[in-house]
Structure 1
Amino acid sequence: MKWHVLTPFLQSRHEAWMTEGLVRHEFNIVPAHYEHDPLRARATVGHWADFVRQTARAHRESRRHEGLLTAFPPLALTSAALKRVTFRRGPLVAWTFNLGELYGGLKQTLARQVAGAVDVFVVHSRQEVARYSAWLGLPEDRFHYVPLGRDLQAPWLDEDRERPFVLAMGSANRDWATLLKAVERLGLRTVIVTPPRTLKGLHLPPQVELLSGLSLQECRVLCQRATLNVVPIANLQTASGQVALTEAMMMGRAVVATRCPGTEDIVRDGDTGCLVPAGDPGALAEQLQALWHDAPRRARLGAAARDHVQTHLSVAAECAQMQAVLDRWA
């Protein structure tokens, strides 16, 4: 089967992506030709116009029986809409179908009108199978859980033992209010990496430092130097925080995360990390304090976390599962 690949982050036809690890299929990358900002708050009308133009290019380049493979919900939905109006026969696979929240009203209505044209939704949390099924009014067997994979990177730095700190990174659906209450209670030095807009209206205690606009390499340095990596999540409907969580685990670091969709699929509580109840600063503070003073336990959790990522959460592991999804049309 020939697949035409639409992602917002591939800018040329020759960029490497997950498709290079798949066999028995042919892939045509349809370049985005627009700037993709993964930290933006919401997609604007201009962004949607970009998605529509990219989708139209994919349709012009493909035959009616060939497949479309999309990344993220906007391109999945624009491709589904065009598939409906052009009566395409080829399959449509929506990889990383992940919404920050389950909207109601007109957004849900429009999504339901076109989503039936998607043959398989690939989600990265088991709980999302039932939730997206109900939200879109489609059978659960249309949704396939595949753990999100990372390009493996070996750690190269140790903890900063002279100036220890707690690190939290990310922008989407972070529960900064709960984290700030917890670290203020403990007085722990804390570094938060996020766009300033996500902290609007919140008071930062004096021991909290805000950073933004860092490169991936700079984030990985902080991740390794931190005493603890924390992923506080406010979203209990869909998966959030998986990239930050997996990055810290990949670097062999102890992590504390909110128990919610996505984190429950990645962390085995007490084995590869620690999970705490949502919106509970007391429970978070208690877990942080216990790990802060227990270096041997942090080391054990970090080693188990890295082993788990290498075995189950690599790009190679994700490709093996995506291979099975696409082979339905081999």
Structure 2
Amino acid sequence: MHWTIAAPFINQQNLVNEHWLTRNVPGDRHQFHIVPRSIPLGNWHNQKSSVTGFKSWLIYWQHGMEAMKASEGGVITLFPQLPAVIGMQQRMTGKKRVPVVAWLFNVGTCSSGIRQAIAQYTLKHIDRFVVHTRREIDIYHHWLGIPKERFEFVPFHQSEIPITHQENTTHPFIAALGSAHRDFSTFFQAVSKLNLPTVVASSERALEGLTIPPNVKTPFGIERQDCLDLAQQARINVVPLRPLPQVTAAGQITIVEAMLMGRAVIATRCHGAEDYIQHGETGLLVEPQSVDDLVQAIEMLWNDSALRNRLGQAAKRYAEEHFSCNAAGAALGRILDKVADTAGMY
């Protein structure tokens, strides 16, 4: 079956080198054509608002129309905005429905009222939603009124990350990377109590209103490679998360990257972190908003190099098996087979 792919992070500038998962789907049953976005996607960390603005929606609308126009079979979208605009376009035109697979469907927070009603209307006929935490299946099932059978859990995938740095044993430090729904308040209390050198690579918005302890450095505006370098050099990687009931998922990208790099990871047990880390085997999970729990986990890993190494190596092996592009490509192939069979298309 022929599929067009609309991914906001693929544009004319990087189209030649960005293949997404098209080369990782086994067999030759499915063919792919990537439709690039007209304007490069901005850096999420530099956005002033977490809500998609009107101009951005217009770009998504155009991108969706171009993907539909180029389709000879079905459409694969990434990010939740694209299946929404394609769903709206299909309902407005009344033409024969094109099968749509919505990969990386994470809305961040589930709004109520008019936004919920619009989401239910536009997404009603999307064939498959691919989510990256198991809890999202229940959340979106109730929020959208869509059967659970149309949701598929596939772990977030990441391509191989070159290891360019080793742990900094001369000046050891803790690293906390990322911005979305981070619990830096609890984290700062823990590292302040331990008085351990710490680097937080996040956005100014995520740290707004918080008092930064003197043992914490906060380099703003650094690039992704700089963040990866910090994660590799850190003695411990921590992903502290706030257990907000309206949040669907958070922290998976940071967790997966750290695990692929063989780093010892501590994450808060919420927002689906337990789908990625097996406590005591591939990392450590701590209870939400528990300073004592976080202090104990950090102190244990900080002082036990054998444990850090064991967890880090186990995390790397697990990530390479479950979070790789090949693993995601195999899952995508299975999902496309199901949709093609249901649609009667080959």
Whole-Å separation in 2 of the counterparts to 1:317 and 1:46:
35
1:230 counterpart SS class: strand
Select the residue among 133, 147, 150 that pairs with 1:139: 147
Post-superposition shift, 1:235? 4.5
Instruction: Name the residue aligned to 1:222.
Output: 230
Instruction: Name the residue aligned to 1:324.
Output: 334
Whole-Å separation in 1 of the counterparts to 2:177 and 2:70:
39
Instruction: Name the residue aligned to 1:269.
Output: 279
1:264 maps to amino acid: E
Select the residue among 155, 163, 170 that pairs with 1:162: 170
Query: Is it true that 1:19 corresponds to 2:26 in the alignment?
Result: no
Structure 2: give runs of 5+ residues left out of the alignment. Answer: 341-345
Whole-Å separation in 1 of the counterparts to 2:291 and 2:217:
19
Query: Deviation per CA, 1:120-158, whole angstroms, max 9, x where unpaired?
Result: 000011111111111101110010011111111243422
Query: Deviation per CA, 1:99-136, whole angstroms, max 9, x where unpaired?
Result: 21121121111101111121000001111111111110
Whole-Å separation in 2 of the counterparts to 1:131 and 1:70:
20
Instruction: Name the residue aligned to 1:234.
Output: 242
Query: Deviation per CA, 1:208-259, whole angstroms, max 9, x where unpaired?
Result: 1111222222212111110100001125542211111111111111000011
Whole-Å separation in 2 of the counterparts to 1:304 and 1:35:
37
Select the residue among 146, 159, 183 that pairs with 1:175: 183
Query: Is it true that 1:110 corresponds to 2:118 in the alignment?
Result: yes
1:20 counterpart SS class: coil
1:254–1:298 contact (8 Å) kept in structure 2? yes
1:233 counterpart SS class: coil
Post-superposition shift, 1:59? 2.5
Select the residue among 304, 320, 328 that pairs with 2:314: 304
Q: Bigger shift: 45-54 or 29-38?
A: 29-38
1:296 counterpart SS class: helix
1:327 maps to amino acid: D
Q: What pairs with 1:61-76 in structure 2 (closer than 5 Å)?
A: 61-63=70-72, 66-76=73-83
1:7–1:72 contact (8 Å) kept in structure 2? yes
Query: Is it true that 1:3 corresponds to 2:3 in the alignment?
Result: yes
1:5–1:68 contact (8 Å) kept in structure 2? yes
1:311–1:317 contact (8 Å) kept in structure 2? yes
Query: Is it true that 1:79 corresponds to 2:89 in the alignment?
Result: no
Post-superposition shift, 1:89? 2.3
Whole-Å separation in 2 of the counterparts to 1:38 and 1:124:
19
Instruction: Name the residue aligned to 1:48.
Output: 57
Post-superposition shift, 1:42? 2.7
Instruction: Name the residue aligned to 1:283.
Output: 293
1:100–1:235 contact (8 Å) kept in structure 2? no
Query: Is it true that 1:38 corresponds to 2:41 in the alignment?
Result: no
Whole-Å separation in 1 of the counterparts to 2:29 and 2:215:
54
Whole-Å separation in 2 of the counterparts to 1:159 and 1:72:
34
CA distance 1:307–1:154, shift in 2 (3 Å): farther
Structure 1: give runs of 5+ residues left out of the alignment. Answer: none
Q: Bigger shift: 192-201 or 83-92?
A: 83-92
Give the % identical residues: 38
> What's the C-alpha RMSD, in Å, of the aligned pairs?
1.4
Query: Deviation per CA, 1:141-193, whole angstroms, max 9, x where unpaired?
Result: 01001111111124342211111111011111111111111111111111011
Q: TM-score, normalised by structure 1?
A: 0.96
Aligned residues: 328
Q: What pairs with 1:201-216 in structure 2 (closer than 5 Å)?
A: 201-216=209-224
Post-superposition shift, 1:94? 0.3
1:83–1:117 contact (8 Å) kept in structure 2? no
Whole-Å separation in 2 of the counterparts to 1:296 and 1:156:
22
1:224 maps to amino acid: Q
1:180–1:205 contact (8 Å) kept in structure 2? yes
2:106–2:249 contact (8 Å) kept in structure 1? yes
